[in-house]
């Protein structure tokens, strides 16, 4: 059995323990957060591993009242149901079954919708429905502290993966705009370090996505269909071969959005751009 990571205090009222699931997709591992004081919530228990769950229980400064899940990817839901059973508390999440990668055994006990408040006495968390990475994705906003628990909507230093069918690039762009309208100062992501200067982080992500979208559009022609895989190889020439299917799916997410915007069309053997379409304006 692996030993659990140490609890680390990020700000007063927020502890983080990194789950022992490092990988190319999860970075150092999933961040599990303990939020609150005498009454607290655990966000994304991460993995169903005794040492990790023990560490979460031991580090909680008070009574654990709820387990919150940002989205039903297995690296976030992993320990949720076992921890809920152990502590006899409900798991809250957005009630929607994903179609692609998902934790098949996971179902929340209680639903949380956009605008719902999780009241932890000293901390109030607002549920923000932020689809894009997945359709069920919730962020949790501690407004008084300007701190957003972003799940996989924002990651530290790496680009968030948007994989169809659960991933939706247009929804993601809208969710980023929604977050930009909130008074967020700092972001505690699902993977990686605490991010200062949230407005700059969000602006950077939006700019990066628009740049990629333009590149995808520019790689299309009006009469020679291109496959998402071909475009991915052009855009990410140095990519680890194991991550190429992921990159192709990411390009596909941009292509689906370009079709919705009227800039591209899907044909039998790939994708074409629409000559008459206006260039991309934002
Ligand atoms: Zn995820």
Same domain assignment for residues 251 and 158: no
Domain extent, residue 229, equals 219-273
The answer to whether residues 123 and 230 belong to one domain is no
Q: Are residues 63 and 180 in the same domain?
A: yes
Average pLDDT over the chain, rounded to an integer: 93
270 CA distance to ligand 1 middle (Å): 27
Whether residue 78 sits in one domain with residue 185:
yes
Give residues with Cβ within 8 angstroms of 204, minimum separation 6: none
Residue given tokens 């992921």 in the structure block: 246
Q: Report CA Rg, the chain.
A: 20
Per-residue pLDDT band at 1 (split at 50, 70, 90): very low
Q: How much distance in Å is there from the Cα of 274 to the middle of ligand 1?
A: 33
CA of 133 to the centre of ligand 1 (A): 7
Check whether residue 143 and residue 176 sit in a common domain: yes
- Does this model's pTM top 0.85? My answer is yes
Separation of 134 CA from ligand 1 center, angstroms?
7
Torsional class of 248: left (φ above 0), alpha (ψ -120 to 50), beta (otherwise): alpha
- Cα-based distances in Å from 271 to 231, 259, 281: 10, 9, 21
Task: Give the span between the Cα atoms of 84 and 73, in whole angstroms.
Answer: 17
Q: Please tell me the distance between residue 224's alpha carbon and the centre of ligand 1 in angstroms.
A: 34
Cα–ligand 1 centroid distance for 139 (angstroms): 12
Sequence-ordered strand ranges (E) for 94-137: 110-111, 117-119, 124-129
Q: 24 with 240: CB under 8 angstroms?
A: yes
148, 31: one domain: yes
Please say which residue of 186, 209, 232 terminates a domain: 209
Stronger pLDDT, 2 or 49, i.e. the higher one: 49
Q: How far apart are CA 251 and CA 73, in angstroms?
A: 21
**38 & 164 share domain:** yes
In a domain? residue 128? yes
Residues in the chain, how many? Answer: 282
Same domain, 33 and 86: yes
Ligand 1 center to 262 CA (angstroms):
29
Q: Is residue 281 part of a domain?
A: no
Q: For residues 244 and 35, which has the higher predicted lDDT (pLDDT)?
A: 35
Cis preceding-peptide flag for 100 (omega within 30 of 0): no
Q: What is the CATH number of the domain that holds 151?
A: 3.60.15.10
Domain count, the chain: 2
Q: How many angstroms separate the alpha carbon of residue 167 from the centre of ligand 1? A: 10
Percent of the chain past pLDDT 70, that is, above it, reads 96
In a domain, 19, yes or no: yes
Question: pLDDT band at 278, cuts 50/70/90?
Answer: low
The encoded tokens of residue 194 equal 């605490």
Give me 186's structure tokens. Answer: 């700092």
Q: How far is the CA of 73 from the centre of ligand 1 (A)?
A: 5
Q: Three-class SS of residue 140?
A: strand
């Amino acid at each position: 059995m692996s030993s659990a990571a140490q609890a680390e205090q990020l700000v007063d009222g927020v502890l983080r323990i990194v789950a022992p699931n490092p990988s190319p997709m999860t970075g150092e591992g999933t961040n599990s957060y303990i939020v609150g004081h005498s009454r607290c919530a655990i966000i994304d228990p991460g993995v169903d591993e005794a040492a990790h769950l023990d560490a979460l229980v031991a580090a909680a400064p008070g009574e654990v009242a709820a387990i919150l899940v940002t989205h039903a990817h297995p690296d976030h839901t992993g320990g949720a149901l076992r921890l809920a059973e152990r502590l006899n508390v409900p798991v809250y999440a957005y009630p929607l079954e994903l179609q692609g990668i998902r934790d098949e055994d996971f179902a929340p006990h209680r639903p949380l919708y956009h605008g719902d408040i999780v009241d932890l006495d000293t901390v109030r968390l607002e549920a923000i429905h932020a689809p894009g990475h997945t359709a069920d994705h919730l962020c949790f906003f501690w407004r008084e502290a300007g701190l957003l628990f972003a799940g996989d909507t924002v990651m530290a230093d790496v680009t968030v993966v948007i994989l169809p069918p659960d991933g939706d690039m247009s929804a993601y762009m809208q969710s980023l705009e929604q977050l930009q309208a909130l008074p967020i100062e700092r972001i505690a992501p699902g993977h990686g370090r605490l991010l200062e200067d949230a407005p700059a982080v969000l602006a950077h992500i939006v700019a990066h996505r628009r740049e990629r979208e333009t590149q995808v559009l520019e790689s299309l022609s009006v009469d020679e269909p291109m496959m998402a895989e071909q475009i991915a190889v052009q855009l990410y020439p140095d990519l680890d071969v194991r991550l190429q299917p992921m990159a192709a799916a990411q390009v596909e997410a941009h292509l689906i959005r370009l079709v919705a915007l009227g800039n591209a069309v899907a044909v039998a053997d790939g994708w074409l751009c629409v000559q008459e379409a206006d260039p991309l304006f934002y």
